[in-house]
Structure 1
Amino acid sequence: MSHKIGITACSNPMHPSFSADLARLCQILRELGFDPVLSPCLFDNGSGFSGTGAERADALMNLYCDPEITDIFDVSGGDMANEVLPYLDFSVIAASGKRFWGYSDLTTIVNAVTTATGNESMLYQVRNLLYDHSAEQITLFQNAFPGSLPASSTSLAHFCRAITWKV
Structure 2
Amino acid sequence: MLLPNRLHKGDKIGVIAPASPPNIDQMYQAFPFIESLGLEVVLGNHVKDVYGYLAGKDEDRLSDFHAMFRNPDIKGIFCAGGGYGTGRIAGKIDYKLVKENPKPFWGYSDITYLHTAIRQQTGLVTFHGPMLSSDIGKDDFHEKSQDMFRQLFAPAELNYSTSYSELMIISEGAVSGELVGGNLSLLVSTLGTPYELEAKGKLLLIEDIDEEPYRVDGMLNQLKLSGKLDEAAGILIGDFKNAEPSKRKESLSLSQVLSDYLSDLNKPIIAGFKIGHCQPHFAVPLGVHAEMSTKKLSLTIAPGVK
Distance 1:92 1:31, change over 3 A: same
Distance 1:110 1:158 in 2: 22
Shift of 1:64: 0.3
- Residue by residue over 1:3-30, the C-alpha shift from the partner in whole angstroms, topping out at 9 and shown as x without a partner, is 111111101112xxx2322222112111
- TM-score (normalizing by structure 2): 0.46
Distance 1:51 1:112, change over 3 A: same
Report whether the alignment pairs 1:130 with 2:143.
no
Distance 1:37 1:60 in 2: 13
Report whether the alignment pairs 1:116 with 2:116.
no
Residue 72 of structure 2 corresponds to 67
Amino acid at match of 2:47: L
* 1:119 alignment partner, SS class: coil
Distance 2:123 2:34 in 1: 27
Distance 2:137 2:82 in 1: 16
- TM-score (normalizing by structure 1): 0.80
**1:21-100 equivalent positions in 2, closer than 5 A:** 21-45=26-50, 47-100=52-105
Shift of 1:130: 3.2
- Residue by residue over 1:31-80, the C-alpha shift from the partner in whole angstroms, topping out at 9 and shown as x without a partner, is 11011111122234364433211211111100001112122111221221
Residue 5 of structure 1 corresponds to 13
Distance 1:86 1:109 in 2: 10
Retained in 1: the 8 A contact 2:17–2:81?
yes
* 1:72 alignment partner, SS class: strand
Shift of 1:81: 0.9
Corresponding residue pairs, total = 155
* 1:84 alignment partner, SS class: helix
Retained in 2: the 8 A contact 1:64–1:93?
yes
Distance 1:118 1:47 in 2: 33
Where is the helix percentage greater, Structure 1 or Structure 2? 1
Distance 1:65 1:158 in 2: 33
Q: Structure 1: which 5+ residue stretches go unaligned?
A: none
Retained in 2: the 8 A contact 1:75–1:125?
no
Where is the strand percentage greater, Structure 1 or Structure 2? 2
**Identical-pair percentage:** 21
